Amino acid sequence: MDPFSAEGELINIHNAFHQGQYPAVIEFDTSALSPENQLPARILQLRAQIALGQSDAVLADVAGEEDTPDLAAVKALAQHTAGDANSAYTLAQELAENYPDNSSVQVLAGTVLQAQGHSEEALALLTKHQGNLEAVALIVQIHLHQNRSDLALKEVQAAKRWAQDSLLVNLAESWVGLRVGGEKYQAAFYVYEELASAPSTAAPLSIVGQAVAELHLGRLPEAEAALSAALETYPDEAELIANAIVLNVLAGKSTEDLEQRLQKTQPLHPLMSDAQEKSALFDAAAAKYAPRVSA
Amino acid sequence: MQSSPNMLTKFESKSSRAKGIAFHPKRPWILVSLHSSTIQLWDYRMGTLIDRFEEHDGPVRGIDFHPTQPMFVSGGDDYKIKVWNYQTRRCMFTLNGHLDYVRTVFFHHELPWILSASDDQTIRIWNWQNRSLICTMTGHNHYVMCAQFHPTEDLIASASLDQSVRIWDISGLRKKHSAPTTISFEDQMARANPGQADMFGNTDAVVKFVLEGHDRGVNWVSFHPTLPLIVSAGDDRLIKLWRMSDTKAWEVDTCRGHFQNASACLFHPHQDLILSVGEDKTIRCWDLNKRTSVQSFKRDLDRFWVIAAHPEINLFAAGHDTGVMVFKLERERPASAVYQNQLFYITKEKHVKSYDFGKNVESPPMLSLRKLGSPWVPPRTLSYNPAERAILVTSPTDGGVYELIHLPRDATGAVEPTDVKRGQGTSAVFVARNRFAVFSQGNQQVDIKDLSNATTKSIKPPVGTTDIYFGGTGCLLFITPTSVVLFDIQQKKQLAELTVSGVKYVVWSNDGLYAALLSKHNVTIVTKTLEQVSSLHETIRIKSAAWDDAGVLLYSTLNHVKYSLLNGDNGIIRTLDQTVYLVKVKGRSVYCLDRSAKPRVLDIDPTEYRFKLALVKRNYDEMLQIIKTSSLVGQSIISYLQKKGYPEIALQFVQDPQTRFELALECGNLEVAIEMARELDRPNLWNRLGVEALAHGNHQTVEMAYQKQRNFDKLSFLYLATGDQEKLSRMAKIAEHRGDFTSRFQNAIYRGDVEDRIQMFKEVDLYPLAYLTAKSHGLTEEAESILEACGLTEDQITLSKIDEPLRVPQPIVPTFKANWPVKAAAHSSFEKALLGEVGAGDDEVAAIEFEPEEEDEVAAARDNFEEEEEDVAGWDMGDEINVEEDAEFVDVESAEAGAGSTEADLWARNSPLAADHVAAGSFETAMQLLNRQVGAVNFAPLKPRFMEIYKGSKTYLPASAGLPPLVNYVRRTVDETDSRKVLPVIPRDLETIANVDLQEGYAAMRANKLEDGVKIFKGILHSILLNTVSSEAEVEQAKKIIATAREYILAMSIELERRSLSTDTPEGLKRSLELSAYFTIPKLEVAHRQLALMAAMKFAFANKNYSSALSFANRMLANGGSPKLLEQARKIKMQSERSPQDKIDIEFDQFAEFDICAASYTPIYGGSPSVSDPFTGAKYHEQFKGTVCRISEVTEIGAPASGLRLFVPGQY
């Protein structure tokens, strides 16, 4: 039986991870789990630690256990987030070659490969999965990243046939929905709203999702309510800040404070790097024009 | 046969055997006649015994209310018929005549008649007005058990133990007793030849039909209210249905089921049902058309004897061996659900309809649920799922069933639903977008199902659970008889439990933060985590509740709509004449469903609870608003405020001086207290004021209070304590004047005035003391003279040792000069608001410095301006802006369509508008477009706008952990999915610019912040330059805003230039005068132009340029406006007219039309060569051609341009 399925004992920790409730994952009591589920649970906890930026602790934790491919994959991801891109890439490639059927390897090495821009390699590895929903979600995200929402949609619909109710499939469907738009915005909104409003599943991740959906639906006041409430609870959440900047721009409000905050928490956030790049582009383009007579 | 799940007992009484029952037609009353000779009058709604009537001797079997008069009739085993007045609570009279038990008595519906049936085998009609027997009907040859009038016709039905039912025609009796004036010839003939007379020649009442069919005695007979049908109940255990025509009557059918004697039966007043009761202890309900049993209800021990129906509402009463029960056959609460602005509900015809709260319209039926459950059982609950547009309906039939149905997109009529998913369950509610929970009470299990009706999860609810409700997303509320449990479905975990008994309904607030738990007599408000917030008790049954948007719970009882704040404060909003079920509160309207499942809107006055809510939230502005706009005064609100500890607010409402005084003391507002004490001027009040003021250290008030009370001692001491020597000596004088020596002595001591003391002692002949005083203070001479006056010498007296005399300390601090300093009593913002302090000062600080004394005018001008703000019709639109529709579609190079191109690329491809290209990040093409359209060359000032648009175009959705967020593109075409039509959102739309930015600019003008103003208006120009609009009308509006911004920038720049000049040199002065004149040229709003004119006029006048001043004054007067402003203009005009000459000749032709060059600030007269800016339309002298426009700072003056494009028809 799939340990992540609705009746499996890992369902709660698994869902918590994908809802972005990383502290809850780390604090999850794994002692009651059956022996074969101990490793997956540990992997999830290590990944949660990485997501919280504790890569060094994770590296120390898995040191000496690289023989287990799952843990080696964790190491690759930790190396990547710690900034050691080259070793991470090498390790990920190696793992992809030797253990292409290990689901942890698929997901984690796939993540590393994609994050370093090797989308084709990542896809090649991930498509070897056998009913691994995390892999499906990654594939969807990679397709979306490549602006192939048609392929992403296909992937989601295929997954829905065998795992209609899984949280991950729902989330992946929402990702696609937010790209496709129209009525799908509302559907995505419902998914995130449901997650964000239930006390047991509320996390920055779901609130951001809800707010983003509201933004796309043009419901700025609602989005603002969601974001500002969330920012009070999670003042350092980069995605919250980034989307709050977008919201304030759309609402015609000042964004300087928020931009400074984002600069502080995550200087490499795409919004910041993108804006810098465009700023340079603007200057370059503007330099081509000049009045015939300078005043 | 099933037992009835639907019979809802509303009231039960315990007594001896109940033989007769009657409903009051209007009030919630029921009369019960008992076997024990008592008649009881119950209020079945409140469950109280109102009265007892005990004059019959032996059992009372017949009872009836009069339909309109305050009286009732009873008949008993003492052979008597008694008529009672229930107001005086007396038996008015007794009708004697029957020779055996009286079985039933009934009033006629309009004539003053009483019909009685008796064991003496007769049926009699009595006139209760003249208290006489008017007809005796014989014919039955056994006890007559029941006799009833037909509800409309002149017929009587009777049932007898002789096994027959007889129908009697009493039209003869009516004729005989109607007014005799209209007797026609035919009537006389008829009377002379009685054709149908019975064997005794009696034509008043004749037997029309004899219905034979029962095998045993017949106990009861009833007419159908509208149809020619009769139903009878007999000892043969059968209920028989009969039909009659004008000429005959026949048996239709028999309802079999009672297994003991059937005691009574009747037709349902509104539905096609027959109800019967019997000695087999059952109440049975039959389908009138099919004559099949619909439902039955059984009591364990008590035989039923009688049944009665309420004439108006859906209520029945049945009498049995140990009392009476009042019940309804079915729930009347219509199943309904509210989602945002829509109500979904099920009508009596079992149609699903919706109701739009915004438009107040009912939709046509959307679905028919005719097949749900059994025909006589209405659906119980409705749950709505907006994501799937599906409803979940439950019905109590067969132990509970549910159906899941998708609503059709459009309401096209009561169609039978297709694709229905159904199952067994007591309750069913949606718990999430794609999940619903089904609770089955029988096996105590909750199944979580997906939309294909497959169970995904099963939960064991707490023992004894009776119902489930939605508990917030992903949660359920389990209702047990003693508690409510909040349960997380996903974690399968109980989150909270609250002990609250008998909860029947749960109503969530609109924001999902609070829920109201309704039980029969209690409302408990809880948070979403099931923490109790407040609870309240009602003696009357609570029916329903709804939340208003501000978090006030409105609930309905049987006869009231009430409110409750979160803190449990509650009160009545209005009374109800019939029971309703609240569904939504919106402003002053309460939406509800009545018992016939029709939406109704009740008007309410929310003032009281809004006020209380504002008070609780300390929202004083709103309170103030409420006070100002409504007539909210009265003792109740004052005592409420006082009780809740807001005396300072209550103070604002009270007029009565006494109360005001009390409140002022309570909140320490001495000023008001003094005012009121003066008004009332009573010693008691002054005394209390003095005490309070003393506590405040407000000794000036204390002084006044003492003065008013003529409390000299205290006053003196007060002066001593505050060191007020002067007043103290005045007190001494007063004391002297009053001849009060004690007081005088005391004052003297306080003042250290030895002479006065001695003088006083002398006056009262206390020479020894006087001497002693003088001596001890070293006043030897005085001492000597005293001795002398007494005729003594020093040797003759003996003195004890004299100590140092008392020295009164001198005050160091002149405390009396001021009150004890206290921290200024903090006026609540509420009081401030009331005193008009809020809002007034703040925005007036921005003083205008044109001339100091102009402040008032400006304020006035502003008022004036605000009136005119709407009116833009009179605007001169300035020069044309070339907005042409022929700008070519810009060809953007990009990768081929399809795979891999981002939505941003699509935007650039889909739109020829510069703003859309900016949003797409395609800055080069955007610049190309702008360059071509408006000749933009200097892009640097546009950078913030570029970045703003670009930054607002994308959102960041975190997806898989470890990967960067997914980027999605925000569209203004929200409903569009066709990639060839999607377009980006552009921040700061025209509406924002017009309503926010433009007003800010005007405000800057008013406040004389011209540098800011220039910046704001330039910002407006840049925002419009990169923007999109949705219609041609908006294009026009955009053009107007561009022109407005241009004029203001020009005007402000001119004035700024003038201010930077020195007027010390003649050239400087001349230029200043010119500039101030030019300042009046741009087309500003009238109120603003008046400011410019005023400044120019004064400046010219001060420099003796009377001609110019005169022309400005004339223009001002022509513009009109505030009287004060015009008054000044008039003055200057008068003065200037004396010598209308300019001392300094300036380049300003007041009679010519001209433009101002926006670069040099010099006039461009008509006909002289000029160039204009392609974007703003600003005019320049020719030498500025090719430079950057001073107004927009972006575009090139005189550049070839196709015109700004903001709109593509059919695109939006």
Burial of residue B644, with CB atoms counted within 10 A of its CB: 0-12 exposed, 13-18 middle, 19 or more buried: middle
Q: Does B632 touch chain A (CB under 8 A)?
A: no
**Residues with Cβ within 8 Å of residue B550, at least 6 apart in sequence:** B610, B613
C-alpha closest to that of B1053 among B1207, B931, B1192, B920 = B1192
In a domain, A285, yes or no: no
Residue B964 to residue A77, Cβ atoms within 8 A? no
Consecutive H or E run containing B1151:
none
For residues B1146 and B378, what is the distance between their CA atoms, to the nearest angstrom? Answer: 91
* SS3 readout for B454-484: CEEEEECCCCCCCEEEECCCCEEEEECCCEE
Give the total residue count for chain A.
295
B605, B636, B670 — which closes off a domain? B605
Structural contact between residues B1048 and B1001, judged by C-beta atoms closer than 8 angstroms = yes
Consecutive H or E run containing B1101:
helix B1086-1102
In a domain, A259, yes or no: yes
Residue A115 to residue B963, Cβ atoms within 8 A? yes
List the single best residue of B968, B995, B1189 to mutate versus A (max A Cβ within 10 A).
B968
In a domain, A201, yes or no: yes
List A residues 202-241 in contact with B (Cβ-Cβ < 8 A): 205, 208-209, 212, 215-218, 239
| 3-class SS of residue B643 | helix
List A residues 251-270 in contact with B (Cβ-Cβ < 8 A): 251-252, 255, 269-270
C-alpha closest to that of B91 among B120, B133, B57 = B57
List the single best residue of A246, A255, A281 to mutate versus B (max B Cβ within 10 A).
A246
In a domain, A211, yes or no: yes
**Averaged in consecutive runs of 10 residues, what is the pLDDT profile of chain B (1212 residues)?**
59 90 92 92 88 91 93 93 92 92 93 93 92 90 94 92 93 76 53 51 80 93 93 94 90 91 92 92 90 87 92 90 89 85 87 87 84 78 87 84 85 77 88 87 87 86 88 87 88 86 89 89 89 87 88 88 86 85 88 88 84 77 70 64 71 75 80 84 86 84 85 85 83 83 84 82 82 81 80 73 72 77 58 48 38 42 43 39 39 39 80 86 86 87 88 85 83 80 84 86 86 89 87 87 90 88 83 87 85 86 86 85 82 84 81 84 84 88 87 87 80 54
Q: Which of A51, A171, A251 sits opposite B962 (nearest CB)?
A: A51
Question: What does the pLDDT read at residue B860?
Answer: 43
- DSSP lists the bridge partners of residue B238 as B256
Cβ-count burial B414-447 (b if 16+ within 10 Å, e if not): beebeebbbbebbbbbbbbbbbbbbbbbeeebbb
Residue of chain A whose alpha carbon sits nearest to that of B450: A165
Task: Assess whether B1044 and B1192 both reside in one domain.
Answer: yes
Structural contact between residues B1151 and B1136, judged by C-beta atoms closer than 8 angstroms = no
Query: CB count, 10 Å around CB of B1040?
Result: 16
In a domain, B1144, yes or no: no
The torsion angle over the Cα atoms of residues B736, B739, B742 and B743, rounded to 10 degrees, is -50
DSSP category for residue B428: E
Task: Assess whether B662 and B739 both reside in one domain.
Answer: yes
List the single best residue of B511, B931, B960, B1195 to mutate versus A (max A Cβ within 10 A).
B960
In a domain, B897, yes or no: yes
CATH number for B676: 1.25.40.470
Question: What does the pLDDT read at residue B450?
Answer: 86
B271, B293, B328 — which closes off a domain? B328
How close does chain B come to A22, measured CA to CA in Å? 10
CATH number for A203: 1.25.40
How close does chain B come to A64, measured CA to CA in Å? 23
Q: Does A293 touch chain B (CB under 8 A)?
A: yes
Residue A278 to residue B950, Cβ atoms within 8 A? yes
In a domain, B717, yes or no: yes
Residue B1187 to residue A180, Cβ atoms within 8 A? no
Sequence-distant contacts of B694-702: CB under 8 A, at least 24 apart: B696/B668, B696/B670, B696/B820, B696/B822, B697/B819, B697/B820, B697/B821, B697/B822, B698/B670, B698/B819, B698/B820, B698/B822, B699/B815, B699/B816, B699/B819, B699/B820, B700/B819, B701/B670, B701/B674, B701/B819
Strand order in the sheet with B560-564: B542-547, B553-557, B560-564, B570-575
Cβ-based contacts of A146 with chain B (< 8 Å): 899-900
For residues B1085 and B64, what is the distance between their CA atoms, to the nearest angstrom? Answer: 81
Structure token pair of residue B56: 């019959």
Q: What is the pLDDT of residues A21-57, one digit of tens each?
A: 888 888 888 887 888 888 888 888 889 888 888 888 8
For residues B1149 and B1159, what is the distance between their CA atoms, to the nearest angstrom? Answer: 20
For residues A72 and B409, what is the distance between their CA atoms, to the nearest angstrom? Answer: 54
Domain span at residue A237? Answer: 181-275
Structural contact between residues B91 and B55, judged by C-beta atoms closer than 8 angstroms = yes
In a domain, A253, yes or no: yes
Structural contact between residues B912 and B929, judged by C-beta atoms closer than 8 angstroms = yes
Number of domains in chain A: 1
Task: Assess whether B592 and B669 both reside in one domain.
Answer: no
In a domain, B662, yes or no: yes
In a domain, A248, yes or no: yes
Residue A271 to residue B951, Cβ atoms within 8 A? yes
Structure token pair of residue A273: 């790097």
Number of domains in chain B: 4
Task: Assess whether B599 and B663 both reside in one domain.
Answer: no
In a domain, A290, yes or no: no
Task: Assess whether B777 and B909 both reside in one domain.
Answer: no
Tokens 């799922």, residue located: B385
Residue of chain B whose alpha carbon sits nearest to that of A146: B900
List A residues 47-76 in contact with B (Cβ-Cβ < 8 A): 47, 50-51
How close does chain B come to A135, measured CA to CA in Å? 10
In a domain, B708, yes or no: yes
Residue A194 to residue B450, Cβ atoms within 8 A? no
DSSP string, B147-197: EEE-SSSSEEEEEETTSEEEEEE-HHHHHHHS-GGG--HHHHHHHHS-TT-
In a domain, A28, yes or no: no
Residue A198 to residue B475, Cβ atoms within 8 A? yes
C-alpha closest to that of B525 among B487, B577, B470, B563 = B563
**Residues with Cβ within 8 Å of residue B817, at least 6 apart in sequence:** none
Question: What does the pLDDT read at residue B195?
Answer: 46
B605, B620, B643 — which closes off a domain? B605
This prediction has a pTM of 0.60
Domain span at residue B992? Answer: 872-1060+1149-1212
In a domain, B338, yes or no: no
Q: Which of B488, B528, B921 sits opposite A200 (nearest CB)?
A: B488
Task: Assess whether B580 and B664 both reside in one domain.
Answer: no
For residues A85 and A91, what is the distance between their CA atoms, to the nearest angstrom? Answer: 10
Structural contact between residues A113 and A125, judged by C-beta atoms closer than 8 angstroms = yes
In a domain, B656, yes or no: yes
Task: Assess whether B667 and B598 both reside in one domain.
Answer: no
Residue B970 to residue A246, Cβ atoms within 8 A? yes
Across the A:B interface, residue pairs with CB atoms under 8 Å apart total 221
Structural contact between residues B235 and B268, judged by C-beta atoms closer than 8 angstroms = no
For residues B104 and B167, what is the distance between their CA atoms, to the nearest angstrom? Answer: 16
Structure token pair of residue B883: 């907005």
How close does chain B come to A42, measured CA to CA in Å? 16
Interface pTM, i.e. ipTM:
0.90
List A residues 88-107 in contact with B (Cβ-Cβ < 8 A): none
- Helix, strand, coil tally for chain B in percent (to 5): 30, 30, 40
In a domain, B112, yes or no: yes
The phi, psi pair for B286, rounded to 5°, reads -120, 145
DSSP category for residue B668: T
For residues B597 and B601, what is the distance between their CA atoms, to the nearest angstrom? Answer: 13
Cβ-based contacts of A216 with chain B (< 8 Å): 955, 968, 970-971, 974
How close does chain A come to B450, measured CA to CA in Å? 9
Structure token pair of residue B173: 């009796």
Q: Does A144 touch chain B (CB under 8 A)?
A: yes
Burial of residue B646, with CB atoms counted within 10 A of its CB: 0-12 exposed, 13-18 middle, 19 or more buried: buried
DSSP string, A136-170: HHHHHHHHHHTT-HHHHHHHHHHHHHH-TT-HHHH
Q: Which of A164, A208, A269 sits opposite B957 (nearest CB)?
A: A208
Cβ-count burial B1152-1183 (b if 16+ within 10 Å, e if not): eebbbbbbebebbeeeeebbbbbbbbbbbbee
Residue B970 to residue A209, Cβ atoms within 8 A? no
